[in-house]
Amino acid sequence: MTAAPAHRIKGGVQSPVRHESAIGHVTGSALYLDDVPTVPGTLEAALVLSPHAHARIASVDFARALAAPGVRAAIAAGDIPGRNDIAPILKGEPALADGVAEYVGHPVAAIAADTLDQARAAAKRVEIAYEVLPPVLTIEEALERGLLVAPEQKIERGDVGPALDAAPLRLAGEARCGGQDHFYLEGQIALAVPGEERDMQVFSSTQHPTEVQHGVAHLLGLPFNAVTVDVRRMGGAFGGKESQATIIAGIAALLAWKTRRPVKLRLARDDDMQATGKRHPFLIRYEVGFDPEGRIQALDMLYAANAGNVADLSPAVIARALCHADNCYFLPNVRLRGLACKTNTVSNTAFRGFGGPQGMFGIEAVIDAVARHLRLPLETVRQRNFYGIGRNDTTPYGMKVEDNIIERVMAELDGAVDLARWRSEIDAFNRANPVVKKGLATMPVKFGISFNLTTLNQAGALVHVYTDGSVHLNHGGTEMGQGLFVKIAQVVAEAFQIDVEHVRVSATSTGKVPNTSATAASSGTDMNGMAALDAAGRIKARMAEVAAAHFGVPAGEIVFADNRVFAGNKSLAFAELAEMCWRRRVSLSSTGYYRTPKIHWDGQAGKGRPFYYFVYGAAACEVAIDTLTGEMRTLRAELVQDCGRSINPAIDLGQTEGAFVQGLGWLTTEELWWDRAGRLGTHGPSTYKIPGSRDVPPVFNVRLLPDAPNREDTVFRSKAIGEPPLMLAIAVWLAARDAVASLGDHRLAPKLDAPMTPERILAAVDDMKARSA
Q: Which of 243, 454, 446, 486 is nearest to 359 (CA)?
A: 446
3-state SS, 157-193, equals: ECCHHHHHHHCCEEEEEEEEECCECCCCCCCCEEEEE
Using CB atoms within 10 A of its CB, is residue 91 exposed (0-12), middle (13-18) or buried (19+)? Answer: exposed
Q: Which of 156, 174, 723, 759 is an active site residue?
A: 723
* Region label for 256, one of left (φ > 0), alpha (ψ between -120 and 50) or beta (otherwise): alpha
Q: Which residue type occupies 274?
A: Q
Q: Enumerate residues 6+ apart whose C-beta is below 8 A from 127.
A: 60, 61, 63, 64
Helical ranges in 202-352 per DSSP H: 209-220, 244-259, 269-275, 314-323
Question: Residues 730, 734, 735, CA angle at the centre, nearest 5°?
Answer: 115
According to DSSP, the residues that pair with 464 across neighbouring strands are 472, 589
Q: Parallel, antiparallel, or unpaired for β 508-509 and 589-595?
A: unpaired
> Do residues 642 and 747 touch, judged by C-beta distance below 8 A?
no
Strand order in the sheet with 127-132: 100-101, 55-61, 127-132
Q: Enumerate residues 6+ apart whose C-beta is below 8 A from 458.
A: 517, 527, 593, 594, 595, 596
| Residue 93 annotated as catalytic | no
Interatomic CA distance for residues 94 and 101, integer angstroms = 10
Query: Is 126 strand, coil or helix?
Result: coil
Give the H/E segment covering residue 772.
helix 758-772
Radius of gyration of the chain (CA): 27
Interatomic CA distance for residues 39 and 507, integer angstroms = 20
> Do residues 453 and 465 touch, judged by C-beta distance below 8 A?
no
Interatomic CA distance for residues 526 and 536, integer angstroms = 15
Interatomic CA distance for residues 319 and 411, integer angstroms = 31
Interatomic CA distance for residues 386 and 382, integer angstroms = 6
> Do residues 43 and 72 touch, judged by C-beta distance below 8 A?
yes
* Region label for 297, one of left (φ > 0), alpha (ψ between -120 and 50) or beta (otherwise): alpha
CB half-sphere exposure, 320, CA atoms < 13 A: 29
Helical ranges in 346-399 per DSSP H: 356-374, 378-385
Residues acting as catalytic residues: 723
